[in-house]
Amino acid sequence: HHPYESFEPVMRFIEEAADDPHVVSIKQVLYRTAKQSRIIDALIRAAENGKAVTVLVELKARFDEARNLLRAEELQRAGAQIVYGVKGLKTHAKICLVVRREDGRLRRYVHLGTGNYNEATARLYTDISLLTCRPEYGADAALFFNAVTGRSKLLRFQRLIPAPTAMKPRLLDLIASEAERARQGEPARILAKVNSLQDPDIIAALYQASKAGVEISLNVRGICCLKTGDAKHSKHIRVISVIDRYLEHARIFYFHHGGDPEIFIASADWMGRNLDRRVELMVPIEDSRARRRLLRILESYFQDNTQASKILSDGSSERLKPAAGEKKFRAQEHFFREARRTAKARDHERAMTFEPHRPK
């Protein structure tokens, strides 16, 4: 959970792969990078070390077009295979695939996230990263890169859900499923954190879910085209916006799903441009600890009574304040303290664990 937890492990993942003699290939999508990018430096070094490096560099990243072109040329000179995006679409997915030879076979390691591979903004933006070597995610990542770097289709994946082919239909199905459960008298709940909410089909589906009785809580930092406070359409929809020290950038979605929750992170907002005109990825979270943690993160924002604002029916916002006798709660401060407690606990455990030096 960045920036409360360092982006350094993500950079080390790529840097160490560049120097690891057992790594065969590295494939990555780059949308926005730092001016002096350690990640690009590592990819150049990997190519110079003889690894098969493939980088999709999105040239249509607004304000970063010139820098992306220059760095792409550097990568190409080093021997990397460069693809300048996908025709007719902007590639906004956050994904890196490392293939390593281990015990005579190939193993895939994948990073998936909600934010850019930019160590500068990673200190200022809140984002989520997932590092995994689960075979299904690795196989999907390989298929994804085959599609965006060659002339092939985004086939049905085992786990990953891509836009513009599958993400929007899946979201609409998830929302409709909660609505149906509510009609049957079952508990139904949707929590979502996005930067913007504009897509008409998603909004219409949320209205229908609200009518059915689904409890919907939305954390929308920026544009929100959903009208709150409408007794007919949005009676059960609550929308807040949290503006604080760090720019809220993570996209996290929760669907109660009859008590067996489905939780996702994504590179995409709920906007037409993201769902219909960009290459994006929505990632299901399967690890039980990670799922519980993401739910706690989502719920913490809706407890914020210091930096959160409620979106009113006329589109204006009203800053939330603690009720009489209620303690102040600031989500970002809570995440910082939680990360510090976790770090101290790990340091204590490390200090109490003896590890012998062994001859090489």
- The DSSP output letter for 115 is S
Q: How many residues appear in the chain?
A: 360
d(CA 138, CA 315): 43
The full DSSP string for 202-223 is HHHHHHHHHHHT-EEEEEESS-
Q: CB burial class (10 A; 0-12, 13-18, 19+) of residue 74?
A: middle
Active-site residue flag, 236: no
Query: Is-contact 281 161, C-beta < 8 A?
Result: yes
Catalytic annotation, pick one of 2, 92, 249, 256: 92
Q: Which helix (H) or strand (E) holds 8?
A: helix 8-19
Strands 251-255, 189-194: pairing is antiparallel
Query: Is-contact 220 195, C-beta < 8 A?
Result: yes
d(CA 269, CA 288): 24
Q: CB burial class (10 A; 0-12, 13-18, 19+) of residue 212?
A: middle
State the catalytic residues.
Answer: 92
